[in-house]
A and B are shown apart, each in its own frame.
Chain A
Amino acid sequence: MSKFNKKKDAAVPAVNTASLPDIVFMLLFFFMTVTVMKDSTLKVENTLPNATEIKKLEKKDRVIYIYVGKPTREYEKVYGTESKIQLNDKFADASEVGDYILMERAKKPQELQNVLTTSLKVDKDANMGIISDIKQELRKVNALKVNYTTYEGDAFRNLQ
């Protein structure tokens, strides 16, 4: 009978975790490939308004960004609380927008230079005055395609 003696230790065998690194690596590679690092730190408040009739901005390499909004708390002392324009990493005046667009346009490959879109990321509390100035500058450098970047949502919520 001793042949069929049950083994005394009935402890649950340890789960084999040898494939755990593989799984984790798989996830890691997924996130590594989809990650887009933020290219500029926002120095302005940037709560975009909502809209429903939106179109997606495809192809990130054809977009030039302009941020507008109140300076965030840490810059408030230096730059005040009026809405400001941010180009790349620094605050700028409306008159500098044209040069910035030309500079960014020159950086892009030749075949893309005519199909660029300017994405205006404007805080919803900004005034139209500053937007009008930007639009005027954009017209001067012939960057006519603009996209008022918004969140998707009920547009009437903007009014509250």
Chain B
Amino acid sequence: MSKRGAPPEVNAGSMADIAFLLLIFFLVTTTIETDAGLDRMLPPIEPPEQDVIIKQKNIFQVNINREGQLLVDEELVNITDLRAKAIAFLDNGGAPSGSDDFCNYCKGARDASSSDSPSKAIISLKNDRETKYSTYITVQNELVGAYNELRNREAQRLYKTNFTDMEAEYLNPETPSDVKDELKEKVKRIQDLFPMKLSEAETASASIN
């Protein structure tokens, strides 16, 4: 009988090669990305029960035509000025002091012919079927930006922080729930100060040129 020594060692020299091979495969196929974008809510399909009468001065009408030009309240406007215009409209607070709608935190021009208060102000967005999607997104971005800017201002005044940061933290799944509850209230309060009322009418089939 031959004497058996220790079992022969398995040669592990090629293990690194195999691991490298797998590593490279996963490196190549990996996409570490979280998608991000503009969150919007669509209006429900049921028509509202009764027609609400909205004063013309409380509507900020934005039309985008097929060339990507903007018509804001019957006036041709450059897209770069849209945000400032929207802020001026939302922050106007035209209702006289003492009335129900009086907005004590507005810092706008208080022009009686523009919106009464942020909660009354509505932005209406209309686009043509031929409008390019990129233009539409830019307009959406500017309008959401206008709201965010105003909300940030109020959040800075009340809580010394930015609304967008608070909201991001609130939506982050890793935030502990007690922090979340506290944030929820704050976020809600700011949202109520400047509620996002962005209505989108059905797309016009005939273009307005």
Map CB proximity to A onto B20-35 as digits: 1 under 8 Å, 0 otherwise: 1011001101111111
- Chain B, range 153-209, C-beta contacts under 8 Å to A: 164, 167-168, 171-173, 200, 202-203
Residues on the A chain within 8 Å of B15, using CB: 21
Main secondary structure, interface of A, reads mixed
- A10→B129 CA distance, assembly (Å): 80
Residues on the A chain within 8 Å of B38, using CB: 51, 53-55, 147-148, 150
Q: Is B138 within 8 A of A156, CB to CB?
A: yes
- Chain A, range 9-60, C-beta contacts under 8 Å to B: 17, 20-21, 24-25, 27-28, 31-32, 34-38, 48-59
For the complex, count residues of B whose C-beta is within 8 A of A: 56
- Chain B, range 97-135, C-beta contacts under 8 Å to A: 127-135
Rounded to whole Å, the gap between the CB of A62 and the closest CB of chain B is 11
- A159→B31 CA distance, assembly (Å): 28
Q: A31-B27, A132-B203, A139-B42 are in contact. Are A155 and B137 (CB under 8 A)?
A: yes
Residues of A bordering B, CB below 8 Å: 17, 20-21, 24-25, 27-28, 31-32, 34-38, 48-59, 63, 117, 119-129, 131-132, 135-136, 138-140, 142-150, 152, 155-156, 158-159
Residues of B bordering A, CB below 8 Å: 12, 15-16, 19-20, 22-23, 26-27, 29-45, 68, 79-80, 127-138, 140-142, 144-145, 148, 164, 167-168, 171-173, 200, 202-203
